[in-house]
């Protein structure tokens, strides 16, 4: 998988995907409803610190924020628990994934890498998208350019199984919704936006005060597909509030912190387990990418998952 990401985006000795990013800090406060859904220790805390990384798609560390390929944006969260452990959540700004399986995603990446401007038509990517309409939708219907990383909703597209203290189980997918709502650039603002406008916007934004996100669990109903992240669950499914994430400040010593931090989708407490097999592949790929980028000689300031 890591090699396939490098085939698509190049090997820059940074994160293999979501390479360009910025880190911020804040706190998480669980809701009263959260512990009724999962016995996870995170939901029994009063509040805990969080480290959050916002990012652009692709493994290209200097991709312009205005490039259409920089979508979907990413939001990765590390919750620092009182016992010294942590929990990670990985999400992006599109409600769904381009493929049903990790193997198909690898095929897509290889097709992208084989379909440069000089490739013969139809390209490998053209052929793949013709037989994978969901992937075509993913690549061609992303959100407009956001005013801020903080003005986007993010989705955890892989399902988890939550178990509460009574043993009741539920399948969930995550949503992270900005309390202030989503906001996008006007045409005039797009024309004036620079290649790093999202990271440059953050300090001033947070200087005006903390930004709140609602962390929600979308609950699957009988018959919903659990192991296929390319199929979004219907919007009428129940949402349970897990708590509030407050984004408060830029992370200190960001380049060092970014380089030394990895977000692992299966880094979860008791009461939460993977329900989608793709999570196992993703969880195994991230440490490989992490180890690979440590071999670079110079620190990289903009390097996600």
Catalytic residues: 18
Q: List all residues 6 or more positions away from 20 whose beta carbon is below 8 Å from its beta carbon.
A: 55, 56, 58, 60, 61, 62, 63, 65, 70, 302, 303
Tokens 């005039």, residue located: 188
Characterise 92 by phi-psi region: left (phi > 0), alpha (psi -120 to 50), beta (else): beta
Q: List all residues 6 or more positions away from 124 whose beta carbon is below 8 Å from its beta carbon.
A: 110, 111, 114, 115
Q: How far apart are CA 182 and CA 43, in angstroms?
A: 26
Count CB-CB contacts under 10 A for residue 296: 13
**Burial of 34 (C-beta count, 10 Å sphere; 0-12/13-18/19+):** buried
* DSSP string computed for 16-78: SSS-SEEEEEEEEEE-TTHHHH---GGGGSS-EEEEEEEE-SSS-TT--TTSGGGPSPEEEEE
Question: What end-to-end distance do the CA atoms of the chain give, in Å?
Answer: 13
Per DSSP, the three-state class of 249 is strand
Q: How far is CA 27 from CA 13, 46, 184, 232, 235, in A?
A: 31, 10, 25, 29, 28
């Amino acid at each position: 998988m890591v090699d396939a990401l490098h085939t698509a985006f190049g090997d820059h000795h940074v994160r293999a995907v979501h390479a360009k990013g910025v880190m911020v800090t804040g706190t998480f406060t669980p809701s009263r409803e959260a512990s009724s859904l999962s016995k996870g220790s995170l939901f029994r805390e009063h509040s805990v610190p969080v480290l959050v990384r916002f990012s652009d798609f692709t493994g290209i560390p200097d991709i312009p924020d205005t490039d259409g390929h920089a979508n979907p944006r990413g939001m990765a969260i590390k919750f620092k628990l009182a016992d010294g452990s942590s929990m990670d959540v990985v999400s992006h700004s599109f409600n769904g994934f381009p493929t049903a399986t990790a193997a198909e995603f690898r095929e897509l990446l290889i097709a992208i890498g084989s379909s440069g401007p000089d490739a013969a038509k139809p390209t490998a990517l053209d052929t793949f998208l013709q037989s994978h309409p969901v992937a075509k939708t993913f690549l061609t219907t992303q959100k407009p350019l956001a005013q801020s990383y903080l003005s986007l909703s993010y989705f955890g597209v892989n399902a988890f199984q939550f178990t509460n203290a009574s043993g009741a189980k539920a399948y969930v997918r995550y949503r992270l919704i900005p309390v202030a709502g989503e906001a996008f650039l006007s045409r005039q603002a797009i024309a004036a936006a620079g290649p790093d406008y999202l990271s440059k916007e953050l300090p001033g934004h947070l200087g005006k005060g903390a930004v709140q996100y609602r962390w929600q669990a979308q609950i699957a109903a009988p018959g919903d597909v659990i192991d296929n992240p390319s199929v979004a669950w219907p919007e009428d499914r129940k949402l349970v509030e897990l708590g509030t994430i407050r984004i408060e400040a830029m992370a200190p010593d960001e380049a060092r912190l970014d380089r030394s931090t990895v977000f692992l989708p299966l880094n979860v407490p008791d009461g939460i387990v993977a329900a989608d097999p793709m999570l196992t592949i993703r969880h195994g790929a991230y440490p490989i990418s992490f180890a690979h980028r440590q071999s670079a000689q110079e620190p990289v300031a903009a390097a996600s998952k």
